[in-house]
Structure 1
Amino acid sequence: MAKDKFEKIDEEVPPRTQNQQPGVEAEMDPAPIYDDENYKGSGKLKGKNALITGGDSGIGRAVAVAFAKEGANVAIAYLDEAEDIDADKTVKLIEKYGGKAKKVRIDISEEEHCEQLIDEVVAEFGSLNILVNNAGKQFPQNDIAAISSDQLRETFDTNFFGLFYLTKAALQCMTDGDSIVNTSSVTAYNGSPGLLDYSATKGAITSFTRSLALNLAEKGIRVNAVAPGPIWTPLIPATFDAKKVEQHGADTPVKRRGQPAENAPAYVFLASMDSSYMTGQTIHIDGGDFVGS
């Protein structure tokens, strides 16, 4: 069977690492696939306004591109990075496909920042219909004794508390037919011996997704999640050493890591009315890494 483009890009795995999270996509080689040329939009999100955290790169960028192809206006929130190189490129991609774009450099770990972010997006677009909680950090430690209280707080502040604060603020202006999509992880289901605090945040996100879905069902606001496996994003070279970067994804059933563009259609599905009878659910995009209930 002929290899597809997602497999071909992974034939030569670079042992290149970065020294700061969440990483810079512009420095990755080979570059991740964030725009699948075979993905054609059909107006599924026409007239919708979306906010994506961690939207400047990785899965967030791929989702922003797919949303724009589907007719949405897209705001991206991102943590401080050198010269905004990733964010500026994502803005250009959104505009290339006809969407109105907005970028906001902000730290969502503070509740007042989340309130400010929602205010800015609504002021720019007039409303908010789709919230994608995607921002995250991870700091591997092989021994729980090595996880300091500062690391634990930083991981939860960004991955879970920021998501909670932003959702709380966003719901003040969301209504019937709107959608929230959270980024969980395969580590919430399989666990991870070297990512104890990170996997715990993703477990919290999964439980929060289920509970909030029940809480908001009568209001007609759906809440779902995507649980990616090993995906080639800036977080990988910014987290692991050269050996782990080289082996990233090789232990999945499909024997390779995934690309951001392979996740984007799931976010479109959950954000659109194609998934109108789904809430509290998680879609697993992980190369078969998790098979279970």
Structure 2
Amino acid sequence: MTRERAREKAEEIDPQEQDRRPGLETEMEPPAEFIRDDYEGSGKLEGEVAIVTGGDSGIGRAAAVHFAREGADVAVLYYDEDEDAETTAEMVEAEGQESMTLDGDVGDSAFCRAAVEEVVDKFGDLDVIVNNAATQVVKTDLTDISDEQWEETFATNIHGYFYLTRAALPHLEDGDTIVNTTSINAFRGNETLVDYSTTKGAIVAFTRSLSQQLAPEGIRVNQIAPGPIWTPLIPATIGQYDPEMVAEFGQDVPMGRPGQPSELGPAYVYLASEDSSYVSGQTIHINGGSIVGG
């Protein structure tokens, strides 16, 4: 997608909402782009096996399809959205790679353990972990955040990262990688997403701490901090709070528009591949030009 077309697509976003989380790609208008037609794979992940959580849609789908174009087989972990997950699997297979889908809650330690074992049983290997699944609910007053919402946000957004990584580590070795998805909100905060932003800050600390622990073993741990990206989570969360806000989504960054998942996929490839062999504990900020510390 050209920059001009990305701006045009941003202008096509009208007020909208979805009545369920994490949200459906099929209900988004306009549809998101996951990989550029002119993106040429070069075997950067040839023969590798990756797990991508939240891989059914949005950023996770972009990571999965880019990995496949670079030669990796991909296991898509997702929650509830079967049709979207199957579409991602079909896109992976269209690149000539194998895929599998696993439906479950990454906030459940037992599911994460079972998922890792199923992936290893099927593919015989595991090389890349992408912790990406996330949830959020807009609340403008801290006192309106219930215990249940606080706990659910932490269970998905940070507990799931820990559970899956812990389950995967016995299968990882020198040269393997972990890529976590944090957020611009970890660095600048968000008054309407206090619990979400808090979990994203925890991911930053998790990434930096784990990278130091695993560096002697040759396992690299990095993170990507997206800004406003056009994914189903936006109409399913911001849209539920105020559909009009969706039409203005992303206009507050210097580039004046939301990003497309396709604009993040290559960064996941970089951090998962040997191109980043001397990079660990670091953050790639993909946020439309916003300057943030860290």
Coarse TM-score class (shorter-chain normalised): over 0.9
Q: Which runs of 5+ in 2 are unaligned?
A: none
Deviations for 1:46-73, whole angstroms, at most 9, x for unmatched residues? Answer: 0000000000100001111100000000
Residue of structure 1 equivalent to 2:275: 274
* AA in 1 matched with 2:287: D
Checking the alignment, whether the CA contact within 8 Å between 1:14 and 1:246 is kept in structure 2 is: yes
* AA in 1 matched with 2:264: N
Residue of structure 2 equivalent to 1:231: 229
Paired residue secondary structure (2:100): strand
TM-score (norm 1): 0.97
- Give the CA deviation at 1:4: 2.6
1:114-133 alignment, distance < 5 Å: 114-133=112-131
Checking the alignment, whether the CA contact within 8 Å between 2:249 and 2:258 is kept in structure 1 is: yes
**Identity of aligned pairs, percent?**
52
Checking the alignment, whether the CA contact within 8 Å between 1:185 and 1:229 is kept in structure 2 is: yes
Residue of structure 2 equivalent to 1:92: 90
Residue of structure 1 equivalent to 2:176: 178
Checking the alignment, whether the CA contact within 8 Å between 2:208 and 2:221 is kept in structure 1 is: yes
Checking the alignment, whether the CA contact within 8 Å between 1:184 and 1:202 is kept in structure 2 is: yes
Paired residue secondary structure (1:291): coil
Checking the alignment, whether the CA contact within 8 Å between 1:189 and 1:290 is kept in structure 2 is: no
TM-score (norm 2): 0.97
Checking the alignment, whether the CA contact within 8 Å between 1:137 and 1:159 is kept in structure 2 is: yes
Cα distance in 2 for residues equivalent to 1:258 and 1:49: 27
Cα distance in 2 for residues equivalent to 1:223 and 1:98: 28
- Give the CA deviation at 1:292: 3.1
1:50-89 alignment, distance < 5 Å: 50-81=50-81, 84-89=82-87
Number of residue pairs the alignment of both structures matches? 290
Residue of structure 1 equivalent to 2:245: 244
Paired residue secondary structure (1:26): helix
Checking the alignment, whether the CA contact within 8 Å between 1:34 and 1:65 is kept in structure 2 is: yes
- Give the CA deviation at 1:3: 4.9
Paired residue secondary structure (1:115): helix
Cα distance in 1 for residues equivalent to 2:101 and 2:3: 36
Cα distance in 2 for residues equivalent to 1:88 and 1:109: 22
Checking the alignment, whether the CA contact within 8 Å between 2:188 and 2:292 is kept in structure 1 is: no
- Give the CA deviation at 1:14: 1.8
Q: Which runs of 5+ in 1 are unaligned?
A: none
Paired residue secondary structure (2:52): strand
Are positions 1:212 and 2:219 aligned together?
no
Residue of structure 2 equivalent to 1:259: 260
Deviations for 1:116-141, whole angstroms, at most 9, x for unmatched residues? Answer: 01001111110110000000000111
Cα distance in 2 for residues equivalent to 1:219 and 1:7: 43
Residue of structure 1 equivalent to 2:159: 161
Paired residue secondary structure (1:251): coil
Cα distance in 2 for residues equivalent to 1:3 and 1:224: 27
